[in-house]
Amino acid sequence: MSEYEYDLFVIGAGSGGVRASRVAAAHGAKVAVAEEYRVGGTCVIRGCVPKKLLVYGSHFAEDLEDAQNYGWTIGRMSFDWPKLRDHVLRDVDRLNGLYTQTLENNGVERFLERATVTGPNSVKLASGREISAKYILIAVGCWPAMPDVPGIEHAVSSNEMFHLEELPRRLVVIGGGYIAMEFAGIFNALGSQVTLCNRSEALLRGYDRALVDRLVQISMARGIDIKLNAPFERIEKDEDGTLQVHAGRGDPIPADAVLVATGRKPNTAGLGLESAGVELGRNGAIAVDDHGKTSCDSIYAVGDVTDRVQLTPVAIREGQAFADTLFGDKPTKVDYDCIPSAVFSHPPLAGVGLTEGDARNKLGKIRVYSSDFRPMKNIFADRAERGLYKMVVDDTTGRVVGLHMIGPEAPEILQAAAIAVKAGLTKADFDATVALHPSMAEELVLMR
């Protein structure tokens, strides 16, 4: 008989927590998970999944416009925000059910309430019950960081964007990262007048500059007003309900809704981690070793709460590696090299490996190949937007060390190409592959 009630107690049923719970249980461990909101976490409930559905929904605006050159006569078009919103929320319910089912099928016990740590091997549920466990896994993710400025109570975070009562006629977006660019694109396409204010000149830090410049140019041509060097100062509310956003120089910007997307902060406040001596790092993130172990030997952490790479597939890998290592007798470390990522903007942008700037700093001698092209689909539709693909090659070995693309379907194409980059293939290997014509992806093997 174990001296503990559970082998593993997981706090947080998001992507990392669910994967760790079900794999640990499949390895034979007795597992419980606590979740204070809904099973599925940020990605499923208020992130990647509902966002992608809104991206699909908003894309119809340009598809319907382009359809005319393809011979279609479209009658009077209208868009119904509550209809899209509610359908998206129903899909979130469906996924919440599926995730719950997965836990149930694997024999993972669920407590739908908040749990806090009370010691190296104990947690306390909000309802008062104390539970002991041999290991505790913290997988509580991050939460939007809202700047402390006057009037911030009038703004919303990405969490609330999925529940807006009505489509805002005027939307101001604060920030210049993933969430800001994605929502700016969605609401611009749906018909809102969008203004994006970023505190510096750099949008989408970490992505290749040439591609980001292309996205800015296309976004502005589509009608998004992008204000750079416009630090967010305050929001005032007029008597008629109009929000006046003060950001940088110039007049305040009137808005019906203000989205603040200035990063996400690990959800560690009030979690009781100090009771077990768990050390926190920068931004309140849990500091962990290569196996996800914290400064307390029986407590581990995976996913966004560790603030390493805030991406769902990474959290899933970390959850899997944790469960395999501790309960599957298969010590596994997550490989963080060459993680592909994408911004689901309009058009989307995707990349893997080193940007041109990073490669130059790291490798010295590099070669850069690119293809700046107008997709056939756009030419026929009279759409001026051009795609841009860039390949960064190590001059010494010929190895492709970075691939970056913006254009229709870029994330779909990049996922496949990322396999070649991860496998260490060379520019010559790409060139040896015959083009698949006509496609946009063929540019990958035709770059000069």
Q: Which residues bind ligand NDP (CB under 6 A)?
A: 147, 174-180, 182, 198-200, 202, 205, 232, 261-264, 310-311, 341-344
Please tell me the distance from the alpha carbon of residue 16 to that of residue 308, in angstroms, as a whole number: 13
Give the β-pairing of 225-227 and 193-197: parallel
Q: How far is the CB of 203 from ligand NDP (least distance, A)?
A: 6
* Marked catalytic residue, from 246, 291, 404, 437: 437
Which residue number has the CB closest to ligand NDP?
177
398: amino acid identity, one letter: G
Please tell me the distance from the alpha carbon of residue 180 to that of residue 289, in angstroms, as a whole number: 32
> Cβ distance 196 to 220 under 8 Å?
no
- For residues 18 and 226, which CB has a smaller minimum distance to ligand NDP in the complex? 226
- For residues 381 and 403, which CB has a smaller minimum distance to ligand NDP in the complex? 403
How many residues are recorded in the chain? 448
Q: How far is the CB of 355 from ligand NDP (least distance, A)?
A: 15
> Cβ distance 14 to 141 under 8 Å?
yes
Q: If DSSP codes are grouped into helix, strand and coil, which group holds residue 115?
A: strand
The dihedral built from the CA positions of residue 395, 441, 208 and 422, taken in this order, carries a sign that is negative
Q: How far is the CB of 343 from ligand NDP (least distance, A)?
A: 5
Q: How far is the CB of 99 from ligand NDP (least distance, A)?
A: 19
Q: If DSSP codes are grouped into helix, strand and coil, which group holds residue 409?
A: coil
Q: How far is the CB of 344 from ligand NDP (least distance, A)?
A: 5
163 catalytic? Reply is no
- For residues 205 and 448, which CB has a smaller minimum distance to ligand NDP in the complex? 205
**For the purposes of burial, counting CB atoms within 10 Å of the CB of 330, is it exposed (0-12), middle (13-18) or buried (19 or more)?**
exposed
Starting at the edge strand that comes first in sequence, how are the strands of the sheet with 366-373 ordered? 341-343, 349-353, 400-406, 387-394, 366-373
Q: How far is the CB of 218 from ligand NDP (least distance, A)?
A: 17
Structure tokens belonging to residue 251: 């007049």
Beta-carbon contacts of residue 360 (< 8 Å; ≥ 6 apart): 366
Q: For 348-420, list the strands marked E by DSSP.
A: 349-353, 366-373, 387-394, 400-406
- For residues 259 and 393, which CB has a smaller minimum distance to ligand NDP in the complex? 259
- For residues 354 and 410, which CB has a smaller minimum distance to ligand NDP in the complex? 410
Structure tokens belonging to residue 143: 């939460």
How many Cα atoms are found within 13 Å in the side-chain-facing hemisphere of 296?
25
> Cβ distance 427 to 360 under 8 Å?
no
- For residues 250 and 438, which CB has a smaller minimum distance to ligand NDP in the complex? 250
Catalytic residues: 437
